[in-house]
Structure 1
Amino acid sequence: MDTDVRAKDFAFPELKPPHVDLRLDDQIVTSVSLGIHTRLQEPKEVDDSIGPPLKQLIVVTPTYNRGFQAYFLNRLGQVLRLVKPPLVWIVVEEKVASFETAEILRRTGVMYRHVVCTRSPSEPKDRGVHQRNAALEHIERHKVDGIVFFADDDNVYTVELFESLRTIRRFGTWPVAMLAPSKNKAILEGPVCNGSQVIGWHTNEKSKRLRRFHVDMSGFAFNSSILWDPKRWGRPYSNPIRQLDTVKEGFQETTFIEQVVEDESQMEGILPGCSRIMNWHLHLDTSNLIYPKGWLLEKNLEITLAIK
């Protein structure tokens, strides 16, 4: 048997797979391709319009148990939720933080702090003074940075006002439209401006002409660091800045402002020319509200109709 395979030629028959037709729903599949389709992510355009972060607004609202309290808080809360963040709403109550008020604040969707004022006022006019002081103490103790604005719950405000507060560097002021106590006319109180420079004051009440600054409580705002960083603003003394309950009604605003600024040169008129009315003080008195027979005023927050 010849076992030498070195010089031999071998020929192998051509091997072909049998022809097979693949059918899917009576259609012949003639080819199958596998591929990975990739797409490079296009670089995102940089938005040059994005500026520095917005200043935080610190809105201080004293409130108390009375008719329409729920309405006032809900109305103000709905305005605040339209304001761009950051914003913190400091709501101050007397003696205890009520469940009803806390529930209203939660429903607004606004970031808030519910503060309690433990000091009892000797007169009704001092209630708001002590409550605002409780908020000022809270801001100072926690060094909450931003622009402080006293917004009573029964006043009317525009969103434009809150957005304008962010332009304030130290102390800003603007005119406020007020319904006279007689309810038969409207008056204007606040600064007269040349651009952003305060050059005078609107005032209509003879009894208040002795005030240094003719401003409504909701007609000014200031940088919170004035409370806890006096050296930054060149304050010669470091006594706490608080509202006074020892002055006559109507003088709380001017005596407070005198602790924050020396004169009009340290003020900024909001907006240029102080020509816009952005909030209204209506002097609404809800202490003598008369409710229809069959209505129950439950904790002065909600009105419930009795079912007969």
Structure 2
Amino acid sequence: MNRSAHLVSLVTPPLMLASSNATATITTTTTTTTTVTTTTTVAETDAGANAHHHGPVFVGRHAIRVRKWPHPDPSELLKAHGILAAVQEAQRRSRSRGADPPRPVIAVTPTTTSALQVPSLITLAHTLRLVDGPLRWIVVEPGHRTDAVAAVLARSNLDFIHLVASDGASTARLRMHALREVRKEKMDGVVVFADENGILRTELFDEAQKVKSVGALPVGILGEDEGTKESFLQAPACDEAGKLVGYHVSDETLLPAARSDMLLSTRLEWAGFVLNARVLWDGAAERPEWVRDLDAVDGGAHLDSPLALVTDAGQVEPLAKCAQAALAWSLRSDALREVKFPHEWKFEAPLVSAASRQQSSVVNTEDGH
């Protein structure tokens, strides 16, 4: 086979026949210089007037467009793929033309030692890595920094702050300690409460960008609370005009926004609320009158309620258009904290050695019989 002729046959675009009755003849001519050239002629029939080289090919009832031969230069193909990838990335980051860049996200996570602490933090870290734009993860522990949490943060590839609150501090106190850090460093952005027992959808971070001061989002409740099994949607309730009228604290109970009932509001999940970080600053012009000073909140008796941040619960902004679809889920269960688990979820070497010795003894016993 002549290599030059074979190369020509590979590079030359394939020709379409004019019709099913068309025939192709290949004529090979050899000259005295032993140069082989291949020419292709198409014998046209009565349909020759309608012949075309590129057009639709019908497979059943579906038309398939036959495009020209791909570009022979691989570098040009890579350049085209690079342009497409850049366009898709720009479309993903800016969903609407002229959109402002996203505000930084500040994720607040209080954590305590439990059986699911490390797996929950790892799962949460993977979720936070999907957030568009800058993000800072604030993780607060009581008493001292543990090696397990420090290892998860170091491997997360996220911008994080590892804080320590007073020993024996409750989850509410840990959360307030993180908010004081936001005020102290004057961090700008959107505060999202990403608890370790929660599951967050990426759409939650998109809705959080819309908050002006304090906003409420729908969150699903799973698990048990005080021995009672619960599974319902906790969400802001709105009227026909889209104005906030109350909060669903259970399937049967609606907390009116005009009623300051802190007993019921303690059942609201922090995961269903977002803040503009500027409302936490001292003397910030962005903080409205109905948002409490952080020192007054920290000294109050209702730290378990996110409504402790405001004096008028009716001023909270309902986000996600009051849609009755969960953007986060909260697992209520205190039993998991009492579960015993192996240190770092690994078997120690003596356990493996003991198993090997036991297996060896069984083999020796069988050999003896």
- TM-score, normalized by length of structure 2? 0.59
Q: Secondary structure at the match of 1:252?
A: coil
For the Cα contact (< 8 Å) 1:89–1:112, is it kept in 2? yes
Residues 100 and 62 (structure 1), Cα distance of their counterparts in 2 relative to 1, 3 Å cut:
same
Aligned partner (choices 215, 227, 230) of residue 280 of structure 2:
227
Residues 86 and 196 (structure 1), Cα distance of their counterparts in 2 relative to 1, 3 Å cut:
farther
For the Cα contact (< 8 Å) 1:230–1:237, is it kept in 2? no
Larger mean Cα displacement after TM superposition, 274-283 or 208-217: 208-217
Structure 1 residue 258 corresponds to structure 2 residue 310: yes
Higher relative CO (Cα under 8 Å, sequence separation at least 6) belongs to 1
Q: CA deviation at 1:99?
A: 2.6
Aligned partner (choices 294, 304, 308) of residue 346 of structure 2:
304
**Corresponding residue of 1:150:** 193
**Corresponding residue of 1:161:** 204
Taking the aligned partners of 1:237 and 1:280, their CA distance within structure 2 comes to 26
Paired AA for residue 200 in structure 1: G
Taking the aligned partners of 1:243 and 1:280, their CA distance within structure 2 comes to 25
**Corresponding residue of 1:38:** none
Residues 238 and 274 (structure 1), Cα distance of their counterparts in 2 relative to 1, 3 Å cut:
closer
Q: CA deviation at 1:205?
A: 8.6
Structure 1 residue 109 corresponds to structure 2 residue 157: yes
**Corresponding residue of 1:93:** 141
Indicate the percent of aligned positions where both proteins have the same amino acid. Answer: 24
**Corresponding residue of 2:167:** 120
Q: CA deviation at 1:288?
A: 2.4
Paired AA for residue 320 in structure 2: L
The structure richer in helix per residue is: 2
For the Cα contact (< 8 Å) 1:129–1:244, is it kept in 2? no
Taking the aligned partners of 1:183 and 1:82, their CA distance within structure 2 comes to 34
Q: CA deviation at 1:239?
A: 4.0
Paired AA for residue 304 in structure 1: K
Tell which structure's C-alpha radius of gyration is larger: 1
Number of equivalences: 246
Structure 1 residue 56 corresponds to structure 2 residue 91: no
C-alpha RMSD of matched pairs (Å):
3.1
**Corresponding residue of 2:244:** 198
Residues 241 and 196 (structure 1), Cα distance of their counterparts in 2 relative to 1, 3 Å cut:
farther
Residues 105 and 254 (structure 1), Cα distance of their counterparts in 2 relative to 1, 3 Å cut:
closer
Residues 206 and 220 (structure 1), Cα distance of their counterparts in 2 relative to 1, 3 Å cut:
same
Taking the aligned partners of 1:160 and 1:281, their CA distance within structure 2 comes to 16
Paired AA for residue 202 in structure 1: H
Residues 163 and 242 (structure 1), Cα distance of their counterparts in 2 relative to 1, 3 Å cut:
farther
Taking the aligned partners of 1:196 and 1:88, their CA distance within structure 2 comes to 32
For the Cα contact (< 8 Å) 2:219–2:271, is it kept in 1? yes
**Corresponding residue of 2:316:** 267
Structure 1 residue 133 corresponds to structure 2 residue 185: no
**Corresponding residue of 2:22:** none
Long gaps (5+) in structure 2: 1-82, 91-95, 256-260, 355-369
Q: Secondary structure at the match of 1:187?
A: strand
Paired AA for residue 189 in structure 1: Q
**Corresponding residue of 2:329:** 280
Residues 217 and 243 (structure 1), Cα distance of their counterparts in 2 relative to 1, 3 Å cut:
farther
Encode CA deviations 1:42-79: one digit per residue, 9 max, x unaligned.
Answer: xx9x9893532211111100111221211010010011
Taking the aligned partners of 1:205 and 1:273, their CA distance within structure 2 comes to 16
For the Cα contact (< 8 Å) 1:133–1:242, is it kept in 2? no
Q: Secondary structure at the match of 2:270?
A: coil
For the Cα contact (< 8 Å) 2:237–2:247, is it kept in 1? yes
Q: CA deviation at 1:135?
A: 0.7
Taking the aligned partners of 1:87 and 1:170, their CA distance within structure 2 comes to 19
Q: CA deviation at 1:232?
A: 3.2
For the Cα contact (< 8 Å) 1:67–1:289, is it kept in 2? yes
For the Cα contact (< 8 Å) 1:242–1:256, is it kept in 2? no
For the Cα contact (< 8 Å) 2:268–2:306, is it kept in 1? yes
Residues 245 and 129 (structure 1), Cα distance of their counterparts in 2 relative to 1, 3 Å cut:
farther
